[in-house]
Amino acid sequence: MEKLEKKIPRNLNECFNIDDIEKLAITKLSKHSLAYYYGGSGDEITLRRNRNIFNKIKLYPKVLVNVSETDTSIIIQNRKLAMPIFFAPAAMHRLACPSGEKDSAKAAFEMNTLYCLSTHSSCTPSEVAAANKNGLRWYQLYLNKNRDISKKVILKLEELGYSAIVLTVDAPVAGYRERDHRARIGEEELSDSASIIANFGFFKNIQDSSFEWEIIDWLKSITKLEIYIKGIHRVDDALIAREKGVKGIFVGNHGGRQLDTVPSALEMLIPIAKACKDFKDFDIFLDGGIRRGVDVFKALAFGAKAVFIGRPLLWGLACGGEQGVKRVFEILMSEFITCMKLCGVNKLEEINESYIFKEKLPKF
């Protein structure tokens, strides 16, 4: 049945979906960079679960609806963006291509979508701001043991036009990602990319593992930027976050990179979105596992306002820098529009759980 097998693509033109781009990226990245981006913690059960859960959820399309006018735009912080598909923070884009975050931020701007920069970026916030022009951009913050350093960073971000702080809370210590260690087996000296990753590990040591919910009060006391929390897993924590007055939460598990065997991002989203469905002005984003336009639709159906994409954009970056990132956004956007039309939906607001198949079937 060789006639039916997929080949590994040789270039972006031979990539028709995100999996193709991943396969191409694997051929492009150095051993260390690949291990760093690709890997999850432990046995990567959560990493796979993030992805597989989407395939189990069944859409339930309505027919004979006029779908000639489909609109994927979304308003965030009074800005109209092209789609509910945003750039998740991820460390060290330079492992993927020489211009790193400058390329990815430029692509996000050109696609008119939100860009979220990582504390562990390999370009400076200023460089990124310049590349992203007047795009909407947020900053993901790992809190420093020295609060003054974090404060200075935040004030600088305000100056540079970043419009929100995304505080990561699921990494008081680093998850153990075995691929990083495996990639170094048998090496005497660190290669360039290995050395970047190793230094990054060192950098983590200054991260704080002691802060609690009061940190939100402190953040609000030093900045007017909107505050999001990234890494909420539980319904009760989501309710506390709301209570504490943050603008919203990222529901996710750090891309399966922190604690293995936690639920998939979508499994966590479902009860959280249900518990929060009457809150106005509290945004719930899904962060993890999206590889298809139908996945975006499902996340929104279960109550996410929008989704953040991580690895797929890094694969795009590795395959073709700015152009590769744009290609990933284009594929997801195009698939998402097709999904909306085939479900009989024209606007994001119309997407809800009635488009998920839940009819009772006999037990087979």
User: Tokens in use for 73?
Assistant: 């735009």
* Interior angle at CA 253, CA 83 and CA 233, nearest 5: 100
Residue 356 interacts with its own copies (CB under 8 A)?
Answer: yes
**Contacts to its own copies from residues 109-148, by CB under 8 A:** none
83 or 129: CB nearest its own copies:
83
The span from the CA of 238 to the CA of 168, in Å, is 14
Residue 343 interacts with its own copies (CB under 8 A)?
Answer: yes
Among 21, 24, 47, 57, binds its own copies (CB under 8 A): 57
Which of 88, 95, 157, 84 has its CA nearest to residue 116?
Answer: 88
- The crossing angle, in degrees rounded to 10, of helices 293-301 and 311-343 is 70
61 or 98: CB nearest its own copies:
61
Residue 43 interacts with its own copies (CB under 8 A)?
Answer: yes
Residue 212 interacts with its own copies (CB under 8 A)?
Answer: yes
The span from the CA of 183 to the CA of 167, in Å, is 30
32, 93, 233, 254: the catalytic one is 254
Which element (helix H / strand E) includes 342?
helix 311-343
**Does the active-site annotation cover 181?**
no
CB 114 within 8 A of CB 138: yes
**Beta bridge partner(s), residue 144:** 207
Secondary structure class of 125 (helix, strand, coil):
helix
From the CB of 16, what's the least distance to its own copies, in Å? 4
**Contacts to its own copies from residues 67-96, by CB under 8 A:** 67-68
Among 34, 81, 95, 332, binds its own copies (CB under 8 A): 34
154 or 251: CB nearest its own copies:
251
Residue 282 interacts with its own copies (CB under 8 A)?
Answer: no
CB 96 within 8 A of CB 29: yes
From the CB of 160, what's the least distance to its own copies, in Å? 27
Among 202, 210, 221, 278, binds its own copies (CB under 8 A): 210
Q: Taking contact as CB under 8 A, which single stretch among the options 58-66, 94-102, 120-128, 194-202 is the one that binds its own copies?
A: 58-66
Residue 25 interacts with its own copies (CB under 8 A)?
Answer: no
**Contacts to its own copies from residues 289-308, by CB under 8 A:** 292, 294
114 or 270: CB nearest its own copies:
270
The span from the CA of 314 to the CA of 320, in Å, is 10
From the CB of 128, what's the least distance to its own copies, in Å? 27
Give me the half-sphere count of Cα atoms (radius 13 Å) on the Cβ side of residue 311.
Answer: 29
Residue 226 φ then ψ, to 5° = -70, 150
The span from the CA of 202 to the CA of 137, in Å, is 27
Work out whether the CA dihedral 6, 13, 28, 230 comes out positive or negative.
negative
Q: Residue 308 gets which letter from DSSP? A: E
**Contacts to its own copies from residues 142-181, by CB under 8 A:** 169-170, 172-173, 175-176, 178, 181
Residue 105 interacts with its own copies (CB under 8 A)?
Answer: no
**Contacts to its own copies from residues 217-276, by CB under 8 A:** 229, 231-237, 240, 258-263, 267-268, 270-271
Catalytic residues: 254
